[in-house]
Each structure stands twice: as structure tokens, then as C-alpha cells.
Amino acid sequence: MELTKNITLGVYLPGKSFIHNLDPRTKIIAATIIIVLLLFSRSYPAFALSALFIAALIIFSGLPAGYVMRGLKPMLPVLAIMWVFQLFLFKDPDAAVYFQWWIFEATEAGLQMGNLIILRVLFLFTITTFLTLTTSVVSLTDGLESMLKPLQAIGLPSQELVMTLVIALRFVLILAEELEKIIKAQMARGVAFDRGNFIQKTRKIFPVFLPLFIGAFKRAEELIVAMDARSYTGGKGRTKMKTLHMGRVDLGAAALMIIYSGLLIYIITTTEPMI
């Protein structure tokens, strides 16, 4: 049982590519634009363009494509089951029927709906994983803090919220290691987590959850003391040793994003939607 092996979210792979060197704000804005456009994409040509664009980004970043997609592995069986259910359950009286058995009907609408949402899931996953793989948590924090600073004017504690997100990302791997130890300890005592029905499987989770939460809260108490001892006051009066600066490479990235967004919007508005 290697829980940490398939966790790619929150992991940073250092590199020297132009994507690694971009200002974190540029990367966050670009990822947001890609995600928003993705939610409006409903046709195969639109997804094809996004696939080409993201594939090019992965190649230019120098990251191993297999590693970027590794986190998807545990999700694949669920996605396959969901696609089948969507195929049979999405009803549209006008849609052509491909296959019929008992009360189940595989319609064209179901097929297109299944494809649409599976494609969305795959793209969302790849984009967010790619963002964290090419941006360190420190850069991500600096970028988010700088971007959300104006919201402080309306009373939103943006710096504190970013800190919360950073703690969450940082602790995923630490807690994963702890969880792995707890599960291995239970397995050494003869617990078989993959066997049994719903009730039996659920009961086996109880002795895993309690030590996980107790351990996490102990760490939280330590972190609270450490942050209080260093007089952490959120965003109030804080300055940065390294300030963010946008350069030529960011201008280039902005131009690239404008071209991609323009093309994608054109495709979205002119092509026939899947459903």
C-alpha cells in the first residue's frame, strides 16, 4: 500500500522551462481562463484544441507526461463506471436509441453527456495538477496573496485564506505518510481493507480515522503554538523579501493565451455542441 505514490497534487517538480519561470500570477490567471473556457466547451473540436494546447504546454515544461497523468490512475475505474451509468441513465425522448435491454436504454444523448463530463474531468485534473507541478507552493502563495490583496478592502481576510489553502496543500503529503503508517499497522494486525461488504468495509475505517484525526489535531496544535510564537498576524503590515515582477516571458505567455482563448471562443461559438 503506497498512498503517496499516486498523489501528484501539491507536488512541485523543479525545472528550468519558460513555464517554470513564469510569474505565478500569470500561471494562476492562465489556469483560471483555461478552466472557465473548459466549462463553456461543449464540442469535440473545442476539446481537441484544448488537448493540443495542454499537450504542448506539458512538452515545453519538460515534465514527464506519464507523471502528470499518474494521479488519474485511481480515478479511472470510477470514471469508466460513471460513463456507463451516464450512457444508460441520461434520457432524452428525441435522441436516437443505440441499444435497449429491459428498462435500460443507451441513447445518443447519454453517450454525448457521458463523453462531455468525462472529458471535463480529465481536463480539469490535468490543468490543476500541471499548475502545482510547475509552481512551488511558496510561489503559488505569493501569487495568490498578491492577486487577492484588493479584496481586503471589502473586509475579506484574503491573506489568511491563502495561508489556509497553503497549509492544506502542505499537509496533504505529511498526512498521507501518517495515514499509510496507520493502514500498514492495521494490516499487520490482520485487517484486510479490500474485503467485505459495505458495512464491513465501513467498520474497518473507524480505527483508521481516529488516529488520523488525533495525529492531525496534535500537529495543528503544534503549528498554532509555532505561528503564535512568531507573532503571525496575517497580512497586516507584512512585507516581502522577494517581490514579484512580470517580465517579457509573461508578456509572451499573455499573447499566447489571447491567441488560444480567441481561437477557442471562435470554435465554441461556431461548432455544433455535443448535446
Partner 1 sequence: MNLSVRKIVISGILGAITILLGVTRLGFIPVPTPAGHATIIHIPVILGGILEGPAVGLITGAIFGLFSFLQPGAPFFADPLVSIFPRLFIGVVSYLVYFLSKKALNLNARPVLNTGPGEGAATGSTGPGSNISRILPCLLAGAFGSATNTVLVLSMATWRGYLPSEVSISIGFLHGVPELIVAAILTVILVQGIQRIRPSEDIT
Cα–Cα distance measured from residue 171 to residue 168, given in angstroms and rounded to the nearest whole number:
5
Cα–Cα distance measured from residue 18 to residue 24, given in angstroms and rounded to the nearest whole number:
12
Chain residues 114-133 in contact with partner 1, contact rule CB under 8 A: 114, 117-118, 120-121, 124-125, 128-129
* Least gap, CB of 197 to partner 1 (angstroms): 10
* Least gap, CB of 9 to partner 1 (angstroms): 6
Residue 137 engages partner 1 in binding (rule: CB under 8 A) = no
Chain residues 62-101 in contact with partner 1, contact rule CB under 8 A: 71, 74-75, 78-79, 81-83, 85-86, 89-91
* Least gap, CB of 18 to partner 1 (angstroms): 24
Mark the segment that binds partner 1 (CB under 8 A) among 50-58, 93-101, 111-119, 257-265: 111-119
Cα–Cα distance measured from residue 127 to residue 42, given in angstroms and rounded to the nearest whole number:
18
What is the grid cell recorded at 273?
455542441
Residue 220 engages partner 1 in binding (rule: CB under 8 A) = yes
Are 108 and 95 a contacting pair, CB within 8 Å? yes
Chain residues 237-256 in contact with partner 1, contact rule CB under 8 A: none
Are 70 and 8 a contacting pair, CB within 8 Å? yes
Work out the burial of residue 160: count CB atoms within 10 Å of its CB; fewer than 13 is exposed, 13-18 middle, 19 or more buried.
middle
Are 183 and 3 a contacting pair, CB within 8 Å? yes
Question: Among residues 156 and 251, whose Cβ is nearest to partner 1?
Answer: 156
Number of residues binding to partner 1, judged by CB under 8 A: 72
* Least gap, CB of 249 to partner 1 (angstroms): 25
Question: Among residues 228 and 272, whose Cβ is nearest to partner 1?
Answer: 228
Are 43 and 112 a contacting pair, CB within 8 Å? no
**CB-based contacts of 65, cutoff 8 Å, min separation 6:** 55, 58, 59
Beta-carbon count within 10 A of 254 CB: 15
**CB-based contacts of 9, cutoff 8 Å, min separation 6:** 71, 128, 129, 132, 169, 172
Chain residues 2-61 in contact with partner 1, contact rule CB under 8 A: 3, 6-7, 9-10, 35, 39
* Least gap, CB of 250 to partner 1 (angstroms): 23
Mark the segment that binds partner 1 (CB under 8 A) among 49-57, 134-142, 227-235, 244-252: 227-235
Mark the segment that binds partner 1 (CB under 8 A) among 14-22, 184-192, 211-219, 252-260: 211-219
Chain residues 146-175 in contact with partner 1, contact rule CB under 8 A: 155-157, 160-161, 163-172, 174-175
* Least gap, CB of 246 to partner 1 (angstroms): 25
